[in-house]
Chains A and B, each alone.
Chain A
C-alpha cells in the first residue's frame, strides 16, 4: 500500500506501462524535462529516454495525427493534451481519423492509443482550461472514453487503457490531481475497465456521477443521510461504453435517479442515462430522472465558476425534488 495522489498514481501507472511494453510511447507538449504542466509525466523521460517520452512541437492536430501513424506501425502512443480546451485543434484527427480506422479498414488495422486529457473545472483557471468535452467523444462511434475519480482507479485504469487495442480518450479530472489522496495497492487485482461501480450503497435514491463529481455525490449522500435519506452513489468510470447495469439495478430498488456532471446539461451524458433508464426502468421510477450539470453557457470566469459547477446544494435540491413527485 502506498498513499498517492491521482497525479502520482497516473505517473506510477504510466511508468508501469512503459516498463512493461517497449512499444509504449508517451508524447505531448512539455512532457519531458518539465514532466508536463501537471507533472503527470515527471521523471519518465529521465528514466526511459527522449525516444520513449517525447516532447512534441506545439501542435495538437500533429500530436494526435502522428500518433495514428505510430500506432499503425505497431507502437502504442499515449498522447497528452495539455488542457481540455486544446483538444479541439486535434478534434478532426480524433473524430475523423482515430475513431474510424478500424471500421474503415474492415477490421484489418487497429490504432491502439490513449489520448489523455486533463478536464473539468474547479481550479480557478483562465478560459479554455476548464472544459468538459466528454459528450463530444462519447457521441463519436469508434472511441472509448473513461474517467477516474480516485488514485486507485487512476493507477490501474491508465494501464488498462494503454493495454486496450481500441483508441481510448482518458479524461483526467484535473481538480483531483493533487487533492484526492488515498492508499493504492499496486498488487490488487484491477476492476474491469468497462464497468461502473457502486461506491456507496443506499436505498432511497440513486446518484450517478463520474470523475470530478463523484466526490460531490458522496458529500451529498453524507448530508442527505443526516436528514434520514439513504443515497446510493454510483461512479460511472466508463462513459463509452456506458455500463448502466448497476444503475438499472439500483433504480429498480430506489425508484429515483439524479445524474451529476460538470458538462453542459443539454445533450450531456445525463441525457443519455436518463433516456436509457427510462426505457429500462420505467415502471420502477417514482420520479423523472433529474440532471444536475453545468449550464448551457461557455465556462464562466473563474470567480463565478462555483455557480456553474454542480455543487452540494444544487444536487441536494435535485435529490429533494425527486421526493416531491
Chain B
C-alpha cells in the first residue's frame, strides 16, 4: 500500500528467511550464509539439541512434581539456541533472558545449576565469569543494555579487530520478540549503533510474549528495525540449526572484526507454554502448534543425518540413552541443590557491609536462638 504523500508503506510481504535445511531435512544453499559442516559438527548439533530438549522436559516434570516453583520451557527453540550458542568462542560473552537453557548448555553450565533460580534456592547458580554467561534476566530486556555496555568495554580494551582469533571478542544479547518493545532494548540498539559496539542482538522470535502475538509488538518484521537504527538485520529460520549457526557466526565475526552490531532475528515458535503457570489454550490455536511441530528442529536434522549416512538407529538410540542418563541425573541431584542459608543474605547485599545490616543480622540470630532455648 502506497500512501499518496509519504510513499510506500513498510513492506508487509514475508521477508526472506535464511535457510540451509528445509523442514523435510533437505540441505539447501544460500549465497551469503553458507558453511561447510563437518560430520562431527553435525552430529554435535544433534546431540546438543536432543540433550537440551531432555533437560527442558525433565525440568518441566520436576516442576510438576513440586521440585521447582516455575519453569520456562524452551521446547521448539533448540535449534535457535544451539545454533547461536555453538557459534560463540570461549572469550565471547552472552547475556541471556530466562529461557536460554540451550545457550547455557553451550557455555558449559551444568544443567542442574539452571534449576536453582526456579527452585527458589538461589538467584542464578553459576559464576558469570566462569562461563562468560551472565545470570538470567527476569526483567525483560534490561540486560540488552548490559550486553552493549560490556561490548563497549571489549572495544575499549582493544579486543576487537586485531585479527587474533583468540583475542577478538563479541558479545551476544539474547531476548524475545516481546522484549523488542522495551525502552531498554531500543536504547541498547541506539548505543550499539552510536559506538559501533561489538554486540549481536539475538532475538528469538517465538511468536508470543505470554499471550500476546507478534503483531502486538511490531508491524514490520523485527529484523528490519535494525535498519532504522543504522545497522544490519537479518531473519533466519530459527528451527534450522545450520542456518542459525551460520548467520550468528557471521554476525559474531563481524563484531569481532570491529564492524559493529548486527540484529539477528531467529524465526521460531514456542511449542510449549510460556512457563509452567501459563495456559496457552486460552489464547492460541492448536492448529498453529501442529503446523510448527512439522517444522521440528530436531526431526529435520535427524532426517538429514540419516540421509547423509551420518546417523542410523543405533546412533539415535545412543543419544537417547545419553538423554535418559541426563534426565536421571537431573532428577537425582535437583533436590541436592544447596539450600540457601538465611543469615547469609545480610552478607551479600554489599561488598562492604553496613552497621545497620550487621545489627539486623545479629537481631535475626538472636531471634532464631530464642527458639533454640525454648526447645
A residues with CB within 8 A of B: 29-30, 32-35, 37, 55-59, 61-62, 85-86, 88-89, 124-129, 265-266, 295-298, 300-305, 307-308, 313-314, 317
- B window 199-242: CB within 8 A of A: 209-212, 216-217
Residues of B within 8 A of A314 (CB): 367
Closest to B368 in A: A307
Residues of A within 8 A of B181 (CB): 57-59, 62
A126 near B342: Cβ-Cβ < 8 Å: no
B69 near A58: Cβ-Cβ < 8 Å: no
Q: Does B44 contact A (CB under 8 A)?
A: no
Residues of A within 8 A of B70 (CB): 125-126
Pick the contact of A266 from B69, B282, B356 — CB < 8 Å? Answer: B356
Cα of A134 to Cα of B278 in the assembled complex, Å:
28
B342 near A124: Cβ-Cβ < 8 Å: no
- B window 21-77: CB within 8 A of A: 69-70
Pick the contact of B209 from A29, A61, A124, A128 — CB < 8 Å? Answer: A29
Pick the contact of B370 from A32, A125, A301, A317 — CB < 8 Å? Answer: A317
Q: Given A57-B217, A307-B342, are A129 and B210 neighbors across the interface (CB < 8 Å)?
A: no
Residues of B within 8 A of A124 (CB): 69, 120
Cα of A85 to Cα of B181 in the assembled complex, Å:
17
B139 near A86: Cβ-Cβ < 8 Å: yes
Residue-wise interface mask of B (14-26) relative to A, using a CB-CB cutoff of 8 A (1 in contact, 0 not) = 0000000000000
B179 near A58: Cβ-Cβ < 8 Å: yes
A301 near B122: Cβ-Cβ < 8 Å: yes
B345 near A303: Cβ-Cβ < 8 Å: no
For the A-B complex, the count of residue pairs with Cβ-Cβ distances under 8 Å equals 117
A297 near B209: Cβ-Cβ < 8 Å: no
Q: Does B195 contact A (CB under 8 A)?
A: no
Q: Given A29-B210, A300-B340, A303-B340, are A125 and B69 neighbors across the interface (CB < 8 Å)?
A: yes
Residues of A within 8 A of B139 (CB): 85-86, 88-89, 128
Q: Given A295-B346, A296-B349, A297-B346, are A37 and B210 neighbors across the interface (CB < 8 Å)?
A: yes
15 A-B residue pairs with CB within 8 Å = A30-B212, A34-B210, A37-B278, A58-B141, A58-B212, A58-B217, A89-B142, A125-B70, A126-B138, A127-B117, A295-B345, A296-B349, A301-B123, A302-B69, A303-B119
Residues of B within 8 A of A86 (CB): 139-140
A301 near B138: Cβ-Cβ < 8 Å: no
Residues of B within 8 A of A308 (CB): 345
B171 to chain A, nearest CB (A): 22
A61 near B183: Cβ-Cβ < 8 Å: yes
